Structure 1
Amino acid sequence: MSDPTSPATPPAYQPGGYAPRPAAPSGGPGSPGQPVGSPFATGRYVPRTETRWLWCVAGLILSIAVVVASVRLFVLTPAWRMVDQAAFLGSTLGREQVEPYAKVVLGVVSPLFLVGATIVAVVLALARKAFGDAVRAVVVVVGANLTTQLLKGVIERPIDDLPQATYGNSLPSGHTTVAASVVAILLIVVGRSWRPLVALLGVLYAGATGIATLALAWHRPSDAVAAFAVVAAWSLLVLIPNRGRAVPDVVVNPLRILVSWLLGVAAVAGLTVGFVALSVAFARAGGDLSSGSALLEPVTRRAAYVGACAGTGGAAAFFVWWQLLARR
């Protein structure tokens, strides 16, 4: 006779839903990946089929496409390269008010911070006896940050046609890559019930870092978006399992549902506002790169900068949301 507390035994169906699984003896887990007494669990279980690999593969392809599109549009296409520069110039508007906060956010980022965060992630994974997750965390950090530095070196951004251009290529953003990779590895190593909270706090930190690089004119908006995509690509790559496997049940986590909706709405809203604002700047500039270009008018720069900040925040929410869904 099968053990009713075995993880392989599906819960009995009762009117109104699935009955809670009895707690496992000796303080063992109540279900795969979900400890008894989780602060976010409801105790109800719903059968499902593992589809994580689909999310991972689709997200990996999309992330690579975003990096390619960022280079193709904002580095190699003169008109959109000009809009990217307009957002860069627009950061001077209101910089005095946000500069102290932006410096605090960016001051956290350093090689020591990245190494320390990686060590913490590995320790958390080993404490859960998730040795594969420890390896994945190291691969994501090394792979994402090396990829960013490699792309910086091989991509050439023409600047002769850009007003007030002081330096060439800066895509992807190194600071944003560091922040996003820290969030990504924490989503990999923490327990399932804590991932929604990590995702919520992580998107605030990663998004703030990306926007701070714009506010201080350290980077153009395409740099931050490409950085999010690079990290997501590595994170989703290491999460692709060898095969889709059937999982009999998962705990219903209201916080995960809430955070997923919040991230989804934030992503759609931010990316929509960003697209509209950058399109307005694009239309006003009209391809004119002269010293009297509409690109240099305050209203155009403000529209481009607002769109860049909204789009950067939306991109952060989108990629963290996708990683949360992929990391069931």
Structure 2
Amino acid sequence: MGGLTQRTGGPGPMSTEPTRDQGETPVRDWPSTRRGTFHPPTVGVVIKHLVVIGIMLFGLWGTVWAFLYSYSGQWIDQTATSEVSNNLRRYSRDSDHLLNALPAIAGVLAVIGILFVLVRRHRFLPAVIGLAMAAGANGTTQALKYLILAKPNYGVQEATMNSLPSGHTTFAAAAGAALFIAAPKKWRPFMSLVMLMFGTLAGVATVINEWHRPADVVAALFVVAAWTALALLVLRFVPAEDQDTASTRHTGMLLIPLMVITGLFLAFCAVATYMIAAQQHFAGAALLGSLCLIFAVGLLSTALLVWLLRRKQPTEERPYTKVWSY
């Protein structure tokens, strides 16, 4: 048994101090990162999120300038839409109902997923932030389409009314993004693929159904990506998120390079086919370039959002692991 023992040999008076039996477990000094300690985001982390938001807004502005306010952009968009009518419409006729239902399917799946994380994981605040992000993205699309952007009539498009950005694509992509925000950290890389699938497939469906031109879809993807980056920044100030230290290292090592390489390749294909369509008028070139551009924007914007998930790594990590740990 432990007790009080006399300490002798010192110059001062006799003193007593507690001693511990040999088999007794020592008291542990808990690290400063124990549950309950909140580490607010650094200035560098905030700047990183703001840079991504700026990139998305710049992409949105570039899409508006290139495809809405220029003659050549309107011509490319109209040519791609005409090629859909001539080449793909007969293949999509039997699947019209499925294509029409894609945004609604995305919304239903997102609601089910959010309810699951609310019931099983009790992630109320991230779910609210995700839903607020989706509402903001859809509101921004409607404001841009009906209140802010005015489509100039260059005589190359049959419809003179502005349809940019696509509301259907915004709804589907925002539903996937809400699920991405509400999910725990270890699930988010996988949910980023779900978000990518919701946005791009719904966007391509609107093009095949001739509801929207390709540029409308691209603009919608930029709107949703900007709002998602903002939601991730807000989550950095939530204490519960800071305490979630789940590792997604291997997923980040795989997803980021794969998305970036594929997205850059598709972007190059889009530029090349647009140039061919403008100079030599090959049938199908404008449509192929437009589809490549949709998937390129979806992949690159999703890669940036996954990059924002990266946590600060210890200094003793090796360089490669330090760069690709998420």
TM superposition score normalised by structure 1 = 0.73
Alpha-carbon spacing, 1:249–1:205, altered in 2? closer, same or farther (3 Å): closer
- RMSD, matched Cα: 3.2
Does structure 1 conserve the Cα–Cα contact (< 8 Å) formed by 2:151 and 2:160?
no
Q: 1:216 is matched with which residue?
A: 209
1:11-65 residue CA offsets vs partner (Å, 9 max, x unmatched) = xxxxxxxxxxxxxxxxx9xxx9xxxxxxxxxxxxxxxx99643432111101111
Shift in Å at residue 265 of structure 1? 2.1
User: For structure 1, which runs of at least 5 residues remain unmatched after alignment?
Assistant: 10-27, 33-48, 285-296
Asked if 1:156 is matched to 2:181, the reply is no
In 2, Cα distance between the equivalents of 1:230 and 1:156?
A: 17
Q: 1:204 is matched with which residue?
A: 197
In 2, Cα distance between the equivalents of 1:175 and 1:248?
A: 33
Q: Which one of 244, 247, 251 corresponds to residue 251 of structure 1?
A: 247
In 1, Cα distance between the equivalents of 2:293 and 2:106?
A: 26
Asked if 1:63 is matched to 2:63, the reply is no
In 1, Cα distance between the equivalents of 2:248 and 2:190?
A: 15
Alpha-carbon spacing, 1:281–1:249, altered in 2? closer, same or farther (3 Å): same
In 2, Cα distance between the equivalents of 1:102 and 1:270?
A: 27
User: For structure 2, which runs of at least 5 residues remain unmatched after alignment?
Assistant: 1-26, 311-326
Q: Which one of 160, 173, 179 corresponds to residue 172 of structure 2?
A: 179
Asked if 1:310 is matched to 2:310, the reply is no
Asked if 1:128 is matched to 2:121, the reply is yes
Shift in Å at residue 152 of structure 1? 1.1
Does structure 1 conserve the Cα–Cα contact (< 8 Å) formed by 2:263 and 2:300?
yes
Of the structure 1 ranges 68-77 and 222-231, higher mean CA displacement relative to structure 2 is found in: 68-77
Shift in Å at residue 86 of structure 1? 1.3
Greater Rg over alpha carbons, structure: 2
Shift in Å at residue 184 of structure 1? 1.0
Q: Which one of 260, 268, 272 corresponds to residue 276 of structure 1?
A: 272
Alpha-carbon spacing, 1:324–1:103, altered in 2? closer, same or farther (3 Å): farther
In 1, Cα distance between the equivalents of 2:161 and 2:248?
A: 49
The SS at the match of 1:327 is coil
In 2, Cα distance between the equivalents of 1:52 and 1:118?
A: 30
Structure with bigger RCO (C-alpha 8 Å, 6+ apart): 1
What is the identity percentage for the equivalent residue pairs of Structure 1 and Structure 2?
A: 25
In 1, Cα distance between the equivalents of 2:137 and 2:201?
A: 19
Residue correspondence of structure 1 range 190-201 to structure 2 within 5 A: 190-201=183-194
Amino acid at match of 1:229: F
Q: 1:106 is matched with which residue?
A: 100
TM superposition score normalised by structure 2 = 0.73
Does structure 2 conserve the Cα–Cα contact (< 8 Å) formed by 1:176 and 1:224?
yes
In 2, Cα distance between the equivalents of 1:116 and 1:208?
A: 15
Asked if 1:73 is matched to 2:66, the reply is yes
Does structure 2 conserve the Cα–Cα contact (< 8 Å) formed by 1:263 and 1:318?
yes
Shift in Å at residue 2 of structure 1? 4.9
In 2, Cα distance between the equivalents of 1:150 and 1:273?
A: 32
1:63-121 residue CA offsets vs partner (Å, 9 max, x unmatched) = 111111111121111122211211121212232224444641431324x9637734742
Q: 1:24 is matched with which residue?
A: none
Q: 2:302 is matched with which residue?
A: 320
Of the structure 1 ranges 263-272 and 57-66, higher mean CA displacement relative to structure 2 is found in: 263-272
Alpha-carbon spacing, 1:147–1:56, altered in 2? closer, same or farther (3 Å): same
Shift in Å at residue 228 of structure 1? 0.5
